[in-house]
Amino acid sequence: MDRLMNVKEVCGILDMHRATIYRKVKSGELDPPKKIGRSTKWPESSIKKYLAGLKSL
């Protein structure tokens, strides 16, 4: 099973501000997070997929 990451962890990995993360979700560049109760979490695989797409540019 995929590890779930909160927005703070995603910001640290991608070196982006929280607002930029949500802008990328809105534009479709980044997969939307999963809502678990009141928490917002991204599967680690979706972050890795985004990073792989950046490296292929």
- What is the model's pTM? 0.89
What pLDDT was estimated at residue 23? 98
List of residues 6+ apart from 39 with CB closer than 8 A = 6
Cβ atoms within 10 Å, residue 25? 15
Maximum distance among all Cα pairs of the chain, rounded to whole angstroms? 36
Pairing of strands 4-5, 39-43: antiparallel
Half-sphere exposure of 28 (CA within 13 A, CB side): 0
Give tens-digit pLDDT for 10-30. 999 999 999 999 999 999 999
Q: Is the pLDDT assigned to residue 41 strictly greater than 80?
A: yes
Q: Is the pLDDT assigned to residue 44 strictly greater than 80?
A: yes
